[in-house]
Structures are given as C-alpha cells and as structure tokens.
Structure 1
Amino acid sequence: MKIKAALDRIPGGMMVVPLLIAAVINTFAPDLLRIGNFTEALFVNGSSTLIALFLLCTGAQINVKSFGVSVGKGATLLVTKWVVGAAFGLIAYAFAGENGLWLGLAPIAVIAAMTNSNGGLFVALVGQYGSKEDRAAYSLLALNDGPFLTMVALSIFGAMGFVDGMFSFVSFISVLLPILVGMVLGNLDEDMRKFLDKGSSMLIPFFAFSLGMGIDFGAIVEGGLSGIILGLLTVFVTGTAGYFVFKAMKWNPIVGAAEGSTAGNAVATPAAIAAANASFAAFTDIATVQVAASVVTTAILLPIYVGFLVKRMEKKGYSFEREAETEV
C-alpha cells in the first residue's frame, strides 16, 4: 500500500491529510484518543514538543554564516503580516456600523486574526516547500503570538494606550532556544547535522495530526458566515501579500504565502485585551467565536491555496525539490 506516494500527490499532503483526519476525530469523537498515557501524549498533546524537536532538527542544518538571511526573512514576514492585518483592522473601525461591526465582523477580531499566524501550519508548509533557512525564519515569528501586536495596532489607532506586561520576552526566547541548540550541535559536528536532518520531514505528519486534534469544525458553525469571511480574508489577503513581497525580494514566494493563517492562541486575544481595557468587553464573545472560525477556516484553506500556488509555480519551471534541499 503506497501511503506515502499517495500523500505526496496531494498538495501539502503530509501535513493537511493528518490534520484533517484529526480534526474530524476531534469534532465527532473528541474523547477517542484522549485516553491518557502515551496515546494522548503523542496524538493529542504532542504538537508543542514535536514542533520544538522539528525546530531543533532544522536549526542543526543552519550554517551560522548565513543565519542573517533567516532573520531577514522572518522580519519581512512579521512586518508584512502585521501591516496588512492592522490596515484591515483600521478599515473595519473606519467603516463599522452603529453596532460596531464591519461586514458582521468585530474590528478587534479582524486585527487579532489577521496579525497572528499559525506557527505549526507555517512550519509544516515551509518544511515541505521551503529551504532550511526558510524554516529558521520561524524563530522571529514568535513575536506575533498572543495579543501584543494586536494591542500595538490598537494603540496606534488611538483606540487604547500601550499596556505593559502583555508581551513576554521569555516566551520569545523559549521559541528561539530549540533552534539555537540545534545550530550549536550542527555547527560543532557535521555528523550530528546529518543525523538530525533526518528528523525534519519525518516529524511533520505527527505534529500536524496533533494540531488537528485542537480543531473543532463546530467553530465554523458557531462563528457563522462572518467568521468564514475573516478566514478567507486572512488566507487570500495576508497570504497573497506575503507571496508577492517574497517574490519581489527574490525569495521563495510560498514561504510568504505560508503566513496566511490564524493561530489557535489568537482565540484568547479578545478576552486578553478586554481584561486590559474594559471598553472592548462588549465585543469579546462575538470576536472570540469569529477568530475561532478563522482558525479552522485558515487551517483547512491555506494548505489548499498553497498547493494551488505551488502547482502554478511548477508550471513555470520552479523546482521545490531543489529549494527544499538547499544547504545554508
């Protein structure tokens, strides 16, 4: 039975198929794999650990002489994602109706969803279509986790003042450290670099499945059409913006497009901001379900969109096998 060959024929198959299978299980039989011990640890709660190990293996492939390229790519992704998301948030505030909503969307939900990206999804897509230095760009993307950049946007709009303590530098370092450990090991020992290289692609379907166990298709229903619209905007606006920015920089455009998602932790952003400023409390509930719907919508749609872009580029002669194997 050619399981791997079948997955390879599907755009992003090594990531999207396990993720969707897990999402179906989590939606209709959420307790099926939540039986404790090794089963639950691997298939339900393992995403953070597996992604951390993936980052360590990836970090081992980075030559310190070219690490600056990865930082530049990460900064470009971060700025592009934030600027586009904040701009749409401003539009939402400017054209909101008497009920405070724009196209049925809470402006705070627009900013939270469009400025925050799913790191696991990014790592999976870039792990399949990007180079080792592209994967290392993730280290800088930790800055868009949580409410920090949403609050920066709100403060710029004059909607609220900057609130200290909402961003933890330790959290940023905690994402960066596995990559740094891998870099040290790989640069000290070439054999260790080759050994850890084997782990990068092997881990993708396993942490993708674990990520899927955090997705409930019911969130789309609860968030309604407005939440789906928010997911569509996130994929096609922020993802496309990243694609063209990277293309203009002569980098792999798929890496830019891979940022077009909403992270699961963005669901908590509206409540966190309301806790810091009570004036947003009235929109907390609707914003939360809309962001949740965007999380699910982008998790499903972004790999499909990336697959479409990959096919389009391959028709023009672009080789992703060469890109993914590029040494840095």
Structure 2
Amino acid sequence: MKIKRTLDKIPGGMMVVPLLLAATINTFFPNALRIGGFTEALFVNSSSALIALFLLIAGTQITLKSAGSSIKKGTTLLIIKWLIGAAVGLIAIFLADDETGLFLGLAPIAIIAAMTNSNGGLYVALVGQYGKEDDKAAYPILALNDGPFLTMVALAIFGAMGFTNGLFSPVSFIAVLVPVLVGVVIGNLDHEMGAWLQKGGDMLVPFFAFSLGMGIDFSAIIEGGLGGIALGVLTVLLTGGISYFVFKAFGWNPIVGAAEGSTAGNAVGTPAAIAAANAAFAPVAEIATVQVAASVVTTAILLPIFIGFLVKRLEKSGGVAKYNEPKVQ
C-alpha cells in the first residue's frame, strides 16, 4: 500500500489527511484515543511538544544573517492579518443593526477575533511542506496574535472600549520564541548537528497535524450556522488571499502568506474575554463565540484546499520551488 505516495498527490496531504482523520474521530468517537498512557500522549496531547521540536529544528537552519528575513516575514503577516480583521470589523461595527448588534448575522467582535487570530499549528504544517526554514522561523512573531490582545487593540482604537491591561503576556511570547532560539544556537555552533536534525523535521508534520485534529469537532460548524461558515470563508479568502498577493509582490513565497488565512482555536475564548472587559459586548458574546468556533473548523478544512488551488496556479509560472531556491550571493 503506497501511503506516502498517495499523500504526496494530495495538496498538503501530509497535514490535511491526518488532521481531517483525527477531526472525524474526535467528532464521532471523542474518547476512542483518550485512554491515557502513550496513546493519548501521542495522538491527542502531543501537538505543542511536536510543534516546539519542529520549530527548534527549523531554527537550526537559520543563520544570524537570515534571521532578519524571518522577522520581516512574520511582522508583515502579523500586520496584514490585523489590518484586514480590524478593517472588516470596523465596517461591521458601523453597519451593524441597532437592535441586534449584528452585521449580516455576524457579530463584529467575532469578525475581528476570527480574522486577527491565526492557527499557528496549521501555519507551521503548511509552511513545513511549501516553505523554507526562515518561513517556519517566522512563527514566533505570528504568535503575538494569540488570544484577545490584538482584538482589544482594534476595539480600543475604534473607541469601542478602553485598553485593558493583562491581555498580552511577554512571558508567553518568550516561551514560543525559545525553541527557535535554541535551534539557532545549535545550528550556528555545529552545522553538522543542524544538518542531522533537519532530516527529522518533515516527519513530525503528520503527527502534530493529527493531534491538532483531535481538538476539532465538526459539530461546531452546525452550532455556528451559516454565519460562522461565512466568517471562516471570508477569513481564508481575505486574510489568506491578500497575504498571498502581498508576499508575491515582495518576491517571497506567496503560499507562506496564504498559510496565515485561518482562525486559531484559542480565538473562541476572545468574545467572552471582551465581554468581561466591557459589558456592552455581553449581548452578542454568546453568538460571537459559536461563530468563531465555526470559523476555526471551517478554516481548518478550507485553508488546505485553498492552498492546493494556489499551488496549482503557481505551477504555471515555475511553482513553489522557485521561491525556495537559495539566492545566489
């Protein structure tokens, strides 16, 4: 049975297939793999540890000279993601129905939360297949959009609420950055060690993708309704699509830009956090929560498909490989 060959034929197959398989198991048989021991540790709870190891390995391939590239790409994606989410959210706030507080059935805080907060695991998995080491190492910058902080910043700028302290943790950011820095140190001290570690990087993708899938429940799509699905579609097309063209304009791998077009699972808690900080958002907090949850699942399914479509388009002009070739000095 040619498992690897089959997965290679599917765009993002090493990530998509394990993730969707796990999501299916989690939806219909949620306790099947939650039996403790090594089984649960590997198939359910391993994503954070495996992603950290993946980032460490990526760091071993980063030289002090190329580190600037990672920072540029990560910062660019972070800004694009926030600007798009904030802009669409602002439009929704201005045009929202006075009685329901909704815009076309969507809560403005759900729009901002879903569009400004990306699924880091999904980004790492997709970039692991289509990007370079400096693309992977951009992840710590992107981790800054975790949680409600940037959503709060957007609302504060709009005058919808005052800035609330304690929503950004420098320690959490450092905790994401450390594995990459350790990898950079190892790789720069011993290139042979870095080359040896690099061989194992790609092997981690299907395993942490499966673990990520065990956190997805397809029923969230039903609970979030058409509004939540639409929010997920908009997140992929707007944040992923615009980032694709911006990266392409800069001469960077556009697939890396598109890989940021998702909603993170931790964004589900953002509406409640905002409502706790400002009671004015309490009436829409519940519907915003289910809409963000639906967007999380929708983007997890749709983004890899969207990436596959974009990869096929790029094949007409030389494909992704031309962006990953080392530049001649």
Q: Tell me the TM-score normalised to structure 1 length.
A: 0.98
Q: Given that residues 23 and 215 in structure 2 are in contact (C-alpha distance below 8 angstroms), is that contact kept between their aligned partners in structure 1? A: yes
Q: Which amino acid aligns with 1:28?
A: F
Aligned alpha-carbon RMSD (Å): 1.2
Q: Is the 8 A contact 2:311 2:320 kept in 1?
A: no
Structure 1 distance, partners of 2:176, 2:293, is: 23
Q: Please give the alpha-carbon distance, in whole angstroms, between the structure 2 residues aligned to 1:60 and 1:68.
A: 15
Counterpart CA distance in 1 for 2:198 and 2:323 is: 15
1:291 aligns with 2:296: no
Secondary structure at the counterpart of residue 65 of structure 1:
coil
Match of 2:304 in 1: 303
For residue 78 of structure 1, what is the aligned residue in structure 2? Answer: 78
Between the aligned partners of 2:80 and 2:251, the Cα distance in structure 1 is 16
Cα separation, 1, equivalents of 2:40 and 2:233:
32
4+ runs of 1 displaced by more than 3 Å?
A: 322-328
Deviations 1:241-267 (A, max 9, x none): 100110111111011100000000000
Q: Is the 8 A contact 1:129 1:323 kept in 2?
A: no
**Paired residues, what number?**
327
Match of 1:54 in 2: 54
Distance 1:319 1:289, change over 3 A: closer
What residue number does 2:63 align with? 63
Q: Contact between 2:78 and 2:141, CA under 8 Å: does it hold in 1?
A: yes
Judging changes above 3 Å, is the alpha-carbon distance between structure 1 residues 209 and 327 closer, same or farther for their aligned structure 2 residues? farther
Secondary structure of 1:317's match? coil
Q: Is the 8 A contact 1:131 1:326 kept in 2?
A: no
Percent of aligned positions that are identical: 72
Whether the 8 Å CA contact 2:263–2:299 is kept in 1: the answer is: yes
Confirm or deny: 8 A CA contact 1:8 1:14 kept in the other structure: yes
Q: Decide whether aligned partners of structure 1 residues 319 and 220 sit closer, same or farther in structure 2, where only a CA change above 3 A counts.
A: closer
**Any conservation in 1 of the 2:59–2:180 contact (CA below 8 Å)?**
yes
Contact 1:132–1:326 under 8 Å retained in 2: no
Superposition TM-score, scaled by structure 2 size: 0.97
2:195 corresponds to 1:194: yes
Shift of 1:55: 0.4
Give the Cα separation in 2 of the matches to 1:290 and 1:102.
13
SS of 2:237 mapped into structure 1 = helix
For residues 35 and 255 of structure 1, do their structure 2 counterparts lie closer, same or farther at Cα, with a shift above 3 Å needed?
same
**Corresponding residue number in structure 2 for 1:18:** 18
1:27: Cα distance to partner? 0.2
